[in-house]
Amino acid sequence: MPATEEFKGLRRLILWPAQAVVILYVVLDAIAMPVIRPLLRWVAKLRFVIRLQDVVAVLPPYAILVLLTVPLAFAEPAKIYALVLMGKGHFAAGLVTIAMAYLVSLVVVERIYNAGQAKLKTILWFAKLMDWLTGNRDRLFAWVRTTMIWKLSVEFKQTARALVAKLRHWFPIG
């Protein structure tokens, strides 16, 4: 086998875990974001959050990067701990722990990233990583949107919304 073929095989082997992470991210994002998006919008409007974002925006790029890692350094072990709790029979405590860990990491990291995105993109390796991640995410979303399950889920969503609208019309509240 020529050296270039070995390199391509090795490259595929190395990229496979990264692609698996991106796919997992896309799936979790698709599940969590419809629930979390309203919360993110509400948090973004809070006065103290706006002030904190202003503080983050004036920091140097690597300081912003460190701020991004701090909530992740706490939230990721908390998620693992939550799974341990659930495994030991403390399902409710584990569920609350994992929900809070996801909520804190998503809300805090999203606000820090939003505030410092322009400066973070001045870090060449970070900009390339984010471009690669978003490119893979966008390609994966494009593929998912071509599948029959996506089309069926869109139809189900439209049917559910129409039903809710009819119910609101029939049973007005307030």
Q: What is the pLDDT of residues 68-119, one digit of tens each?
A: 999 888 888 998 898 889 889 998 999 899 888 888 887 888 889 999 999 9
> How far is Cα 33 from Cα 41, in angstroms, rounded to an integer?
11
Question: Is pLDDT at 1 greater than 60 in this prediction?
Answer: no
Comparing 25 with 14, which gets the higher pLDDT? Answer: 14
Chain centre distance of CA 140: 14
Among residues 33, 60, 46, the alpha carbon closest in space to that of 119 is found at: 60
pLDDT band at 161 (very low <50, low <70, confident <90, very high): confident
How many whole angstroms separate alpha carbon 77 and alpha carbon 106? 15
Give CA–CA dist 18/24, Å, rounded. 10
Report percent pLDDT > 90 for the chain.
Answer: 29
Higher pLDDT, 122 or 173: 122
- How confident is residue 146, by pLDDT bands cut at 50, 70 and 90? confident
Positive or negative torsion for Cα 153, 159, 162, 168: negative
**Average of per-residue pLDDT values in the chain:** 83
What is the model's pLDDT at position 13? 74
149 has pLDDT over 60: yes
- Rounded Cα gap, residues 171 and 174, in angstroms: 10
Of 131 and 104, the structure prediction assigns the larger pLDDT to 131
Which of the four pLDDT bands, split at 50, 70 and 90, describes residue 47?
A: very high
Residues 6+ apart with CB under 8 A from 165: none
Q: What is the mean predicted confidence (pLDDT) over 147-172?
A: 82
pTM of the model: 0.63
Using DSSP, state whether 34 is helix, strand or coil: helix
Sign of torsion over alpha carbons 127, 133, 135, 138: negative
**Helix/strand number for the chain, H first, E second:** 6, 0
